[in-house]
Chains A and B, each alone.
Chain A
Amino acid sequence: MNARKIAVAGVLSAIAIFLGIPPIHLGYIPWFAGASLTVMAAPVIIGAVLEGPIVGLAIGFLFGLSSLVNAAVAPSGPADVLFTNPLVSVFPRLFIGPVAWLIYRPFEKRARPVGMVLAGIGGSLTNTALVLGMIVLLGKIGLPLAGTIALTNGGPEAAANAFLVLAVVAAWKRIEIGRRGSQLE
């Protein structure tokens, strides 16, 4: 890891931690299903898209660790009770970055915006599937309920994450997407 990768990993981890800090919870959007949507996977995916799988892994790990700490210190929902188990809060998050990077890599040379959207969706769904899968494996909720949550939350969450990943990376890399608001000439 060179200085650049370390710096990006550290700074994006700080954002991932910051979005989950209670009692503000900037990273949560209240949703119809009762459980909130979270866009906290977005910094992990952005790190993976910009700097590769190891950086994504490191951010995912610190994001998971901070959700473990928050769940124990200041729980604010039923999911937080389950997140006191690192198998639910830390382990699944390790895979968000590497999966997003694997999806993004084939598009890197040609259609980068498409790659970013797909990486956003893939990374977010990895998070949903592995976290819920782990909760079912531990016998805390039944499979039908987990499936319902995956449908009602996983889909909108993936859309929100994909949108943010595209918006941020395009703004950072100065990639033209669609019609721009204003131009000088």
Chain B
Amino acid sequence: MRRYDLGRLMEFARYVPGSSPLHRLHPGAKLLTAILGVSLLIAARGVAVLGLAFLLVVALTTVSRIPLSTPLRSLRRALPWLLIVILIQILTVSGTQWGANYGGFWIFQLRGGQVYAAIGSLLRFVDLILFLVLSISVTEAGELSYAADAVLTPFSAVGIPTRAFSLTLTIALYFLPLFATEADRIIKSQAARGADFAPKGFRPLGRIRTFAPLFVPLLVIALRHAENLARAMEARGYSPRGGHTRLAVHRLRWGSVAATLGVGALLVISLLDPLRGIDSMFRGLF
């Protein structure tokens, strides 16, 4: 029965408690720096910028004082898939056939350009994983809706229901553990009726057949919860516009502003591609 114990197995966006400067950033600043940082890593061209970003992310992880095992565990899990993705990229994507020929067989010839592209992809994925894990580790779940609210507030001026959205996020995070319990209950009662939720081996059709008796009750229960919640909110006088207060209020400090502006500046600089020279030197090696 252990394998049905969903609550115990759940592993989602683990917050690592701490008091480092990164933990103490304003929630809004954490979200903004995460968005800017990810944009930087996606938009970055060339191996040189990605290499520098790698050093920066490692330095920030040290500053955050989260145990190194946290990012390393994610990286270790990703590594085999990473290699598969890069292999597929080399085999199926055209346009990187330049540079020295390292030999090959039949129609596959390994060229320098492909090696260069593979190194770029590898660095970009490693950077993204490390940066996302760092951002998630220093942000508490409760701070997320506060952050969404803080970042989205400017958009409420043009009539977008930003408060409603951050409330949606709060509700989602609040109900998550509840649904683990509900799913657990449904699985156990269906198993008691003879359903096999953990068929041995590779049996896709068996999985599909056992899926509906879990999924349908789970969603109907969810909708019933939503109905009750909506009534409770209305009974307590919830109105979509105006007049909401918060339990915890975070003060915006200069450090948070500086951190956000810093990452924003790095994004702009990386878009200007200042390391072009080093990069073309590097390309020349292949």
Q: Which residues of A pack against B, CB within 8 Å?
A: 1-15, 17-18, 21-24, 26, 29-32, 37, 39, 42-43, 46, 50, 54, 58, 62, 66, 68-70, 72-78, 80-82, 84-87, 139-142, 144-145, 160, 163-164, 167-168, 171-172
Contacts and interface: CB of A to CB of B under 8 A. Distances in A.
A90 to B, nearest CB: 10
Contacts of B85: 78, 81-82, 140
B13 interface: yes
Given A6-B171, A75-B81, 18 more contacts: A6-B164, A6-B167, A7-B171, A8-B223, A12-B226, A14-B171, A14-B172, A22-B12, A46-B219, A72-B132, A73-B11, A78-B84, A81-B78, A81-B125, A84-B128, A140-B85, A168-B220, A172-B223
Which 6 A-B residue pairs are closest in the complex by CB-CB distance?
Answer: A10-B171, A142-B92, A72-B132, A14-B175, A13-B172, A1-B164
Given A15-B218, A73-B13, A81-B81, A3 B92 contact: no
Nearest to B76: A75
A79 B132 CA distance: 17
Contacts of B226: 4, 7-8, 10-12
Nearest to B125: A81
Nearest to A55: B168
Contacts, number: 206
B128 A10 contact: no
B269 interface: no
Given A7-B171, A18-B183, A163 B230 contact: no
A49 to B, nearest CB: 12
Contact residues of A: prevailing secondary structure: helix
Contacts of B78: 75, 80-81
B172 A17 contact: yes
Nearest to B88: A141
A3 B234 contact: yes
B204 A32 contact: yes
B271 interface: no
Nearest to A10: B171
Contact of A141 (B6, B92, B212, B223): B92
Contacts of B92: 141-142, 144-145
A77 B81 contact: yes
Most chain B CB inside 10 Å of its own CB: which residue of A68, A164, A168, A171: A168
B184 to A, nearest CB: 10
Nearest to B144: A65
Given A9-B168, A10-B170, A11-B223, A72 B215 contact: no
